[in-house]
Amino acid sequence: MLTRKQHELICFISDRLAETGVSPSFEEMKEALDLKSKSGVHRLISALEERGFIRRLPNRARALEILKLPERADAKPAVKAPPATPSIPAQIPIAANDVLEIPLHGRIAAGMPIEALEGQNMLSVPAALLGSGEHYALEVSGDSMVEAGILDGDYALIRRTDVARDGEIVVALVEESEATLKYFRREGAMVRLDPANRAYDPQRYSPDQIRIQGRLAGLLRRY
């Protein structure tokens, strides 16, 4: 059995997820349930978690997943919302305000190729910047992609893939030792890696010299 406040809170979270796909903030939950402080929200969430109604998703700030819903016949929703669906979707959308932790693998050249470093550091990234698939981050070194808006010190968010289409910005591993961030082009039997800076020349390689390690999915800049 849930208390009235616990019942109201899980209904509010469910309705908000169904309507927007975004987990409500603790401040929004406090106001919706007319509580005096956020500590009351924390206690309610902990109680719902202990009873197996919700769980907190790891590595995602403030993200909640609903595991089951109580009967809503006596529910008194805290806010007006569309009627609940009979069952919970198999997968609740990732909240737009989620933060994910992805591996940070050293620095990558946006000029001449440099050695691709593998590291154990992690980078916090807003989930809205990433799509489906597996991702990692690389710190940009150099200025050869400035005309594409990619600056020295930026973090390139890379979706893992081993294939690329003409015109995509990719991470290309050259001769299994050096990695670079460039536009990918096919030029006859050759592969051409184009910079986005007129001060640099394109780089041409045979296909067996190049291995695609990912394509650019987003960019993170710290000020």
Instruction: Tell me which of 16, 49, 66 is where a domain ends.
Output: 66
Q: Are residues 46 and 139 in the same domain?
A: no
Residue reference for tokens 């394109």: 202
Domains identified in the chain, total number: 2
In a domain, 96, yes or no: no
Report the pLDDT value the prediction gives residue 167, as an integer from 0 to 100: 94
In a domain, 75, yes or no: no
In a domain, 51, yes or no: yes
Which positions ≥6 away from 65 have C-beta within 8 Å?
54, 55, 56, 57, 92
Please tell me the distance from the alpha carbon of residue 48 to that of residue 84, in angstroms, as a whole number: 19
Q: What is the CATH number of the domain that holds 12?
A: 1.10.10.10
Split at pLDDT 50, 70, 90, the class of 77 is very low
Catalytic residue numbers? 144, 182
Structural domain of residue 27, as residue ranges? 4-66
Q: Are residues 210 and 154 in the same domain?
A: yes
Q: Are residues 41 and 118 in the same domain?
A: no
Residues 201-207 have a mean pLDDT of 94
* Bigger pLDDT: 47 vs 210: 210
pLDDT digits (tens, 9 = 90+) for 88-139: 333 434 444 567 888 888 788 766 554 455 556 888 888 777 878 889 899 8
Q: Are residues 106 and 209 in the same domain?
A: yes
Which positions ≥6 away from 177 have C-beta within 8 Å?
115, 116
In a domain, 40, yes or no: yes
Report the pLDDT value the prediction gives residue 89, as an integer from 0 to 100: 39
With 50 as the cut, is the pLDDT of residue 86 above it?
Answer: no
Please tell me the distance from the alpha carbon of residue 49 to that of residue 94, in angstroms, as a whole number: 19
Instruction: Tell me which of 66, 85, 117 is where a domain ends.
Output: 66
Q: Are residues 116 and 52 in the same domain?
A: no
Instruction: Tell me which of 51, 66, 81 is where a domain ends.
Output: 66
Say if pTM beats, i.e. exceeds, 0.85: no
Check residue 151 and give left, alpha or beta (phi > 0: left; psi -120 to 50: alpha). Answer: beta
Split at pLDDT 50, 70, 90, the class of 79 is very low
Q: What is the CATH number of the domain that holds 153?
A: 2.10.109.10
